[in-house]
Amino acid sequence: MTGPNSINRTDQEGTTQMTETNEQATDPTQPGYYARRGVTSANEQQMRADAVRAEQLLEEARHAGDLREYVKIAEPAEEIHRKWANHESATAQADWAYLSDVREDWRREPGSMERLYEQVIIDRVHGVAMGMSPAEWRSLRQAREMAGHGDWPQARDPYSVESLQARPTSAADPASLNHYVDSAESWNESLMRADFAQVYQLGEQRGRTYTDSEYLQLTEQMHDIAEPWAFRDDALGLAWRDMSTLAEASYSDSEYDYAVERIEQRLPENDDARARMFGRSTDQIQELKGIARSYFSHDASRTPPQVASTAFAATRTTELRQRGRRPIPGHAFAGLVGGREQEGLER
């Protein structure tokens, strides 16, 4: 039977469930916190929550009044460590070791790690992973947050109501879905192209900043918009990376034409859909270049930032070995690829 009491009970249960979900989403010792940050594996969510809980316990133990109290508080943290260090899954063991090491590096060498973080996040906007696996990138962000050097924001869902409501509505704005009503072949393509335009616009804004904090803040915004698209293994992901390549090659008309030619040479024969997608991508980049200066352009009057590079990575790894520490397993310092001695971006 349905009546006022049963409706009220259902509402109360629903409210309680929502409260629990929201609490988990804001508490880094809860797996739900990491689900909101793009971690889909329940095992990885629990591992990351346990890492924060273990750190909290050890910090609490440091203030113990005597040895007995210290052991009582610290023992659960040791149990957490043994659980993951000896986990039946080799992947879980490696993820735990990586997170532990990269967290320590954020504490010992925050300046070096910040430069690494900056380079990696800049390149990820364009679909370049810098030799890092997705789990390693998440560990880099989590360790940065645990060390107090920056928040790890919730993952952005381009399909969410919040994202849709935040989009511009004017069809004249390339960051608006309405801008692609007559050109895109699907709703998904419209979303991708609108997001690329927004990243481009943020890059324009970033090029006019004068402080490192503003520069990094805008880069992180660009990354959070780009991440759902830049690493997709489908036509939309390819289109995003193609447009990034074309935008990066916009120093001159000849360089742009050469980039177009290189991509066209890679297009599969008799794949009309791919060719049409690339045609729309070139149209979009040409439009963006026509309405605003490319955010990849270089202003020689301003000093580019120093960022992590292959040479820097090799030096850093040598330093770790000299201290008797093994290199971080799979860490970008040990296998950084595509590094740049200087980033040709405005600061």
Domain ranges of the chain: 16-86, 107-347
Distance CA 274, CA 267 (A): 7
**Is it the case that residue 39 has pLDDT exceeding 70?**
yes
The span from the CA of 211 to the CA of 163, in Å, is 28
Instruction: pLDDT band for 289, please (50, 70, 90 cuts).
Output: confident
Q: Rounded to whole angstroms, how far apart are CA atoms 127 and 35?
A: 22
What mean pLDDT do residues 300-329 have? 42
Residue 19 confidence (pLDDT) above 50: no
Can you tell me which residue has the tokens 């045609």?
279
Full DSSP string of 150-169: ---PPPP-TTSHHHHHHS--
pTM (2 decimals)? Answer: 0.75
Question: Which string of b and e fits 101-134 if b means at least 16 CB within 10 Å?
Answer: bbbebbeebeebbbbbbbbbbbbbbbbbbbbbee
Cβ pair 316, 112 in contact under 8 A: yes
* pLDDT of 253: 64
Residue with tokens 């890492």: 51
Per-residue exposure over 199-211, b if at least 16 CB sit within 10 Å of its own CB, e if not = bbbbbbebbebee
What's the mean pLDDT in 87-99? 96
What is the pLDDT averaged over residues 110-127?
A: 94
* Axis crossing angle, helix 110-124 with helix 134-146, rounded to the nearest 10: 140
Region at 154 (left for phi over 0; alpha for psi -120 to 50; beta for the rest): beta
pLDDT of 145 strictly over 50: yes
Tens of pLDDT along 151-161?
999 999 999 99
Span 3-10, mean pLDDT? 36
- Count of CB atoms within 10 A of residue 216's CB? 19
CA dist 345 to 120, 204, 213, 223, Å? Answer: 14, 11, 15, 16
